[in-house]
Structure formats: structure tokens, C-alpha cells
Amino acid sequence: EKMRLKLKESVYTQIKADDNRKMLVSSISHDLKTPITSIKGYVEGIMDGVANTPEKMDKYLRTIYSKAVYVDKMIDDLLTYSKLDMNQIPFNFEKVNILQFFKDCVAECEYELNKLNIKISIDNQFDRDIELLFDRERMKRVVLNIIDNARKYMNKEKGEISIILRETRSSIIIDIKDNGAGISNDDLQHIFDRFYRSDKARSKMGGSGLGLAIAKQIVEGHNGKIWARSVENEGTSIIISLKK
């Protein structure tokens, strides 16, 4: 009976893995097609002599480069997600001062955000220095992915992103809150799914559609939890809970 159950479980796992693989291939093919078609179009324009002035040539080459960077990032996200999904990326745990960690994250993206008139701040509600064991580089990727999403969907003239740090008896809570476009209730339950973007967002926004799925994998790899709250046209909070 145990062997039968094990065999049944094994077959189910294999079917699920095959379905996941098919979805990955289908989704990445869909999202790669647009930038590659664009690159081909601009290259053909150069070959046909359409870019017949230095200004046009510069514009074409810059567009080709930006599309190539986009494809490169998409492939990098896909490889990262696949490795995380198969537990092939080991976490390098170290003691990290939480407040200093978030100051470093803010310093890394503050200049670009300020250029877009988005103010980023830290609301530190700790009454003492707090250290946690986590993988500094992986967790930084989580935070920067969330901040980048807030940037993409910012629809206010004066954008605001606030990182609120607080604690409960057993956990550290990180709330990354923005005043952007918000997320509909229908979309909210899916935002951590692979490749999920609402149809409206898909036509306007770049990205691999894996940012929040990667964030979820990393947070859960630290035995933490991640979830979202949002009100349309008022903003979104992505909340992370990590055990002390």
C-alpha cells in the first residue's frame, strides 16, 4: 500500500513538473517574441538604409540595445526562478542589521526614483538595533524587485514609496507601501504567480513577469511569508514577515 501511494505521488509530481515546464516555455516564448520582433525591425531598417542620418542611426541603435537588455534580464529572471524552483541556489545566511540593510537598498535606487519625482523613505518603528539571519544579496533582490514594481505602476505626479519596519513578539514585519495605481481584487490574488500580469499591464509594462514570483521563492526559502494589500488608484503594500 505504501509503495502504491509512493508511486501515485511520484506520477502526480512528474505530471505537475511537465505542466510547469510547458507553461514556462509557452509564457517565455510569448514574452520574448515582442522585443525580438522589434530588434529585427530596427536591424532591417538599418540594413535598408532607413536610418540615413546620424540621429536616426543613434536612435535605432539605442532602441536595439535597450530591447537586448530587456531580453537578457528576462532570461536571467527565468534561470533564477528555475534554479530556485529546483532548490539549486544555496542561501548564504549571515547576520544582517535590518535598518542598515534597508538604508543600503534605498541608497541603491534613490537617485533613479528622484529623477522620476518618486520619494522613497524608511519609517523605522524599531526601538533598538535588530539583526536577522538571512541571505543579504537574495533579500536585496526581493526588495529591489518590489520597489521596481512600485516605480513601474506609479501614476501620481508626486510618487511615494515608504518602507515601514516594525516587529511583533516573534517576527520582523517589512511593509513596502506606495501611492501608485493599485491592483484590482481580481489581479491581487495572482500577483505572485509566475508570468502573471493583468492584460492592461502586459501591453504597457516591460519585465519578465517573474519579479514577484522570485521574491516569493526567496522569502519562503527563508521560512518567511509575503503577501499584498491594495486599493485601486490609492496604492499597494507588499508585506514580508520574517521570523526572529
Q: What secondary structure letter does DSSP report for 120?
A: E
Grid coordinates in use for 95?
Answer: 547576520
- Angle value at C-alpha 111, between 110 and 113, nearest 5 degrees: 65
The helix/strand/coil state of 88 is: coil
| pLDDT, tens digit, 9 for 90 and up, residues 149-203 | 899 889 999 999 999 999 999 999 999 999 999 988 888 888 887 665 554 444 4
Q: Please state, as a whole number, how many other Cβ atoms lie within 10 Å of the Cβ of residue 126.
A: 12
| pLDDT, tens digit, 9 for 90 and up, residues 111-139 | 999 999 999 999 999 999 999 999 999 99
Taking a C-beta distance cutoff of 8 angstroms, is the pair 225, 219 a contact? yes
pTM above 0.75, yes or no: no
Distance CA 198, CA 236 (A): 15
